[in-house]
Each structure stands twice: as C-alpha cells, then as structure tokens.
Structure 1
C-alpha cells in the first residue's frame, strides 16, 4: 500500500514526489509511460556523445527566487541567456522583434524613439484584443505579423492566429532597444549537469519508488494507494467522456555534423517556407566542448504524444466540463500542463506543483491519514 500514486515523472510529478517523500515522510509510487524520468525536459547523450534534449530545447528562466532556490537543492547552474534568430526574407533577424530586427530587415538606421513612431504608423486599431492575431497587429502592424508570426503560428498550432487565444502571442514582447535576449527574467540558467541528472537527484529518496514504461490504466486497480496525483491528459483520465481535447504534438529529426558549430545561436525559427518550425543546436545551451555538433529539426503535428494544449475558446469550454468532473473527486489532484489544460512554462509548472503541495499540507492532516490507514485495514 503506497500513500501516494503519482502519474507522470515530469516536473509536476517529480516535484510533488520529492516534497511528499522529504517533507511528509510518506511513500510514493511514481510512474511514467516512458522509459525515463524528466518528462519532456529529459536530456541524454546521443551516439556522438553530445548532450541533447530529446524532446526539443528546454530553457530554464524564472523571476521567482523561491522556484530557483528549490531547484538549486538538486543542481548547480550554468549561466545562459537564450537568444533566437528568425530567418525572414533570407535574413537572420533577432526575435522578439527589437530595434536591430527592424533596421536590418528594412536597411534603416532608426533610433529607439523613431522605432516607436515606425510602429505607431503601422499598428491596426483593434477594439477588443481577443486573438493571437489581434495582439500582434495592434502592436507592430500587419506586415511584420505576416513575416514573423502568421506562418510560424500556423505551423506550430495547425491554426491561423485569428483562431487562437491571445495568450499565444502575448508571451512574446516587442522591444524598442537592442535587447536580443528571448527572455527578460531575472534568473536565466541551465542545470550544469543537465536536466536528467537534476531529476535523479530530486527523486533520490528511499520513500520514492519509480516504475517506468507503466500505464496508469494497467496498474490503477492492481497497486493499492491512498491518494492520487495525476499529471497526464485530463480527457484521457475520464475516458474521453465529453470527447477528446485537442493537443499539438512534435516530432524531431536529430542530426550530428562533423563541425564544432553551425548556428550563431541555439535556436533559429523558420516562420516562412520550411516545413519545420525551428532548428536547435544544443551545444549553445549546454556549453559542452566537442569536435562535432548535434541539432534537431522540429515538426509540429496533430498526432503523437500530447505536448501543448491548443488555446482557443471552444477547447477551453470543453476543458471546463472535465474540470468540473475533476473537482468532484476526493483524494485526487490534477497538476501540470496536460492535467489542467494550460500552456505553462517550466517554472510555472514547478510553481503550481509547490502550491499544490502547500494545499496538501493544509488539507491532508495526520489525522486524515490515520483514518485512511484504518479504513484500508478494515
């Protein structure tokens, strides 16, 4: 009999397993369908001996000292500020759009003050900003929207930005200066030994038992447990009672080249003609010294493992129906991107997991645990 069954060994499940085992001294069975812990943040050495992110680039950044401090128990850090270029009209240009982006695209020499005038002349008036398209055209105008955002978003989400929630593009700032960092967070670092090593340290507790290549449906009635934390797809948990929630998936083409570097930055976005959305060169992220380099080409699709909830009004309405079912269950917590149908960054998932643990601390008392034990013995 385990005190807790946790489904999914990504950030949400692993953080909660660590907290429950170390702070409550309770037993945890942590399961995952895959053959490894770490979820989509899993990294490993490829055949050439290069550390790669098997499921695409994961860049850690946060403004939360508490979240950074929590992870620092399990890893040292390598300073890294992420920079991205977009290939537009045959040029490699900084993204998010900044002063250099516009000057190099149009061969201008604008100042920051002149760039504001440039944008103001091109912005479209949108009475109510509700879609991803609205956000961009009301900020930088339609031409830049079409060059940098429309094609990329169509490939990434399988929908036009006019059909997606404003949250999709509201995440990407527009800058009047030359700041070419992709993120502006105070804490921007990569785990010095990689994500997988960090997860292994997090889960190194005798009270945590890990079962990989295990499906929840196959074991839920076979392994006794008192409480459940579920981080998988919420619609699957309820046997698709109201129909499937749409998710976007990704596939990757991983290649190794016999040269030290091939890209000027870790990630290059391709918003125009190519089938793939972006190409990542991992040595930029890890700082690894190696005579070869490994890259991944990223192809979004509707089929495969669910990666991203698709944010639009009809999907959010469908999720609300599942959310109502979830709220009726005792001793079950739904946590993470798939279980709560939200497009969270890594630090947001960690924050949600830590907040869930605090709720568990408040609501699951020692007395309630004793009651559960007595009921199980009857």
Structure 2
C-alpha cells in the first residue's frame, strides 16, 4: 500500500509549538507542512526589524527558564543577550520598581531595612482584617497590604481583566512576588535573555527545511487540508476546532499601538507599567532597550487590553472555574482523536510562558517518536 497522504504531519500554526514540532519531526525524516493564517511565521513571538530595532509586534517576550537543557536548546538556533527583565511602574507620575522589593518599599514608605518593610506590610494586613479573602482585592490586600494594592495592583489588574477587582476571583493572584532585597530582576530564573536579532530568527532557523504556507486559514479550507497529512498538529483554539459544540471559551484580547518617534530614548526602560485606572493602556514597551540599542530613533508600543469576541485575536485564557470546566469537555473530545496532536496555549487553554511551550512541544515529540 502506498502512502496516500502527501505529508506525515500537517501542522496548523507557525508559532513556537508548531515550529519546534516541525523542526524535530523533520530531523527524524518526516515530511511536514506548516500553515498559518497570518502573513508571517512566529505566532505571537514574531519580531519585525524596523530601522535596526526588533519590534515585538504582539507584546513583550522575555525568555527565562531554570532548565539548562531548554536554555541550551534555544541557544542552538541563535545567541541570546544578557537582558534582565526589570520593569518599572508609573502610578500617576510616581515611579516604582517591580517586582515589589526593597527599592519599592523605600520609595513608598522610606523604610530602609527588610525588617521595617515587613512590619509595614504586616501592619496594613492586620488593619485590613481579612481572614478569608473572597475576591482579588481582598486576596491582594491580605498578601501585601493596602498601599501596594492601591498603587501598584488595583488599576493595572482592573484594566487587564476589564472588571472591578472585587468582581475578580482571588485565585488570579494566589501569590505575589515580594522580595526583601534590593533586586529589580523580575524573574527568579537562572537563565534569561532576548535572542540577538529578535525571536523571528529562531523560528526561521527551526523552519528552514520545512515547507511553510502563510495566509491560509485552516477553517476555510478544512476538508482539503485535512487530506494532506497522515496526522494533524493543531495549535489553534480547541473550541473552534470542535465547532464550539459545547460553547465558547473566553479570552482577553490586546490592541497594540506602535509609534515611531524621532528621539533616541523615550522612557529609559524596555517596559513601563501604568498602574493607575485612568491611563487606558497597561504598559508601554520601548523595544530598543531589549537589545541595548543606541539608534537615533525609537519605537514604542502601547498595550490596551480588550474584551475578546469571536474573530478577535485571543491572547490569554480567562481561566476561571466556568471556563476550565468547559475546557475539560473539549479536552475529552481531543483525547479521543488518535491522529491529532493538540498543543500550545490556545489548544490547551493555558497561559504558557515560552519555555513551557517549548518543553511541552519536546515532550509531545518524545511521546510521538518513542
């Protein structure tokens, strides 16, 4: 019997999961076709070079992991720089360091020692008297007190989710990073950096021996596309794959406003979060600072969270109980599909970091080719 299908794997989505899978399967002699509905590869980690500045088109992406194997894995494609994520918060013109650390506490209260900072937070916690947090607001105050909550959490979180903090479930911030050191490094991970030359370079390397077709919407040509591959690797929205038969999973969406400025330095930092409720965007990214750029001009991106509706770009899942229960039903359907591999953030309805997506893709490859 001849193989009737043209490809071993049809991979839907040229983001990290799809690209890693395609790269590994191709190395094992499999024939892959990768399709994507966008006009470029890379999914949400896509970076576009504009006048020497690598612009993160879909929000800031900073690679970080404690796993040396994963770090070595991405470094085989491109060299990473020494960028350390140290965002700052702008609350009505007051500047604070993130994550909450001794620099933050010193600016807020004038305290100098860790002991003084702990006492201050403890005082505020006790004053609030919340024994059993019922919502995000109460959870946050019971963790870090009222000042940090009011200035650095409340407005940002309400913009991010489009709801009052008292209407959000407490589990969204089960823990908040609080450090009693003067350390502005946002992540605790050992390995951290940005690929020199941007993320697109990594995906290009992964896909250089793979057939890729862009501007193709799987759902518009589903019947004919499904005939092409022995197996399918699907990285889109799982509810859409099953025609929303149990209902629609909820996401938050984002709108990005890119501006090209005729100045060398706009804000002095790659990421500035705007934590008051009145500023409509959550943060401004200044891309050149990810790669220590010294270009004469700069490019900034304002990020506006929006309510997602069908047809919008989904960015992060609303993992509340209702949606998680709904996802379980779709997962049961997915598990019955013998020739379809579901992977990535949208197909597994999880908020993954980049290293987690890569790890998940490598694990799937291992299962597939064992």
- TM-score past 0.5 threshold: yes
- SS of the equivalent of 1:138 reads helix
Contact kept in structure 2, 1:337 and 1:343, CA below 8 Å: yes
User: Residue 175 in 1 paired to residue 179 in 2?
Assistant: yes
The runs of 5 or more residues in structure 2 that have no matched partner are 1-5
- Distance in structure 1 (CA, Å) of the matches to 2:129 and 2:214: 52
Shift of the alpha carbon at 1:276?
0.4
User: What are the within-5 Å matches in structure 2 for residues 139-288 of structure 1?
Assistant: 139-164=143-168, 168-170=172-174, 172-205=176-209, 208-223=210-225, 224-272=228-276, 273-288=278-293
Displacement after TM superposition at 1:274 (Å) = 0.2
Q: Take 2:326 and 2:136, find their aligned partners in 1: how far apart are those partners?
A: 20
Question: The residue matched to 2:21 in structure 1 has which SS?
Answer: helix
Residue 139 (structure 1) shift: 1.5
Tell me the distance in 1 between the aligned counterparts of 2:293 and 2:175: 30
Residue 352 of structure 1 aligns to a residue in which SS? helix
Displacement, 1:93? 0.5
- Cα 1:36/1:325, change in 2 over 3 Å: same
Deviations 1:163-216 (A, max 9, x none): 4455643474111111111112100111012111111011111xx210111111
Listed as ranges, the matches of 1:281-320 within 5 Å are 281-303=286-308, 304-320=312-328
Q: Aligned equivalents of 2:307 and 2:369: distance in 1? A: 38
Deviation at 1:100, TM superposition (A): 1.4
Q: Please, which runs of 5 or more residues in structure 1 have no aligned partner?
A: 363-378
For 2:135 and 2:240, the matched residues in 1 are separated by 28
Aligned counterparts of 1:222 and 1:274: Cα–Cα separation in 2? 47
- 1:264 Cα deviation from its structure 2 partner: 2.4
Contact 1:19–1:357 (CA under 8 A) maintained in structure 2:
yes
Instruction: Identify if the C-alpha distance between structure 1 residues 126 and 229 changes in structure 2 by more than 3 Å, giving closer, same or farther.
Output: farther
Q: Find the residue that maps to 1:77 and give its secondary structure.
A: coil
Q: Is the 8 A contact 2:250 2:318 kept in 1?
A: yes
Q: Which position in structure 2 is the counterpart of 1:117? A: 119
Answer yes or no: is the 8 Å Cα contact 2:272–2:284 preserved in 1. yes
Are the aligned partners of 1:281 and 1:293 in contact in 2 as well (CA < 8 Å)? yes
Quote the Cα distance in structure 2 between the aligned partners of 1:85 and 1:182.
Answer: 10
Q: Is the 8 A contact 1:165 1:311 kept in 2?
A: no
Contact persistence 2:143–2:175 (CA under 8 A): no
Question: Does 1:83 pair with 2:83?
Answer: no
Specify the SS of the correspondent of 2:296. Answer: coil
Q: Where does 1:47-66 land on structure 2 (aligned, <5 Å)?
A: 48-66=51-69
Pairwise CA RMSD of aligned residues?
1.8
In the alignment, what sits opposite 2:46?
42
TM-score (norm 1): 0.90
Q: In 2, Cα distance between the equivalents of 1:155 and 1:228?
A: 37
Give 2:26's aligned residue: 21
In the aligned structure 1, how far is the partner of 2:350 from the partner of 2:168? 13
Compare 135-144 and 210-219 and name the one that shifted more. 135-144
Range that drifts further, 236-245 or 155-164: 155-164
Give the deviation of 1:52 after TM superposition: 0.7
TM-score normalised by L of structure 2:
0.91
Instruction: Give the equivalent residue in structure 1 for 2:369.
Output: 361
- Whether the 8 Å CA contact 2:64–2:191 is kept in 1: the answer is yes
- Aligned position for 1:6: 11
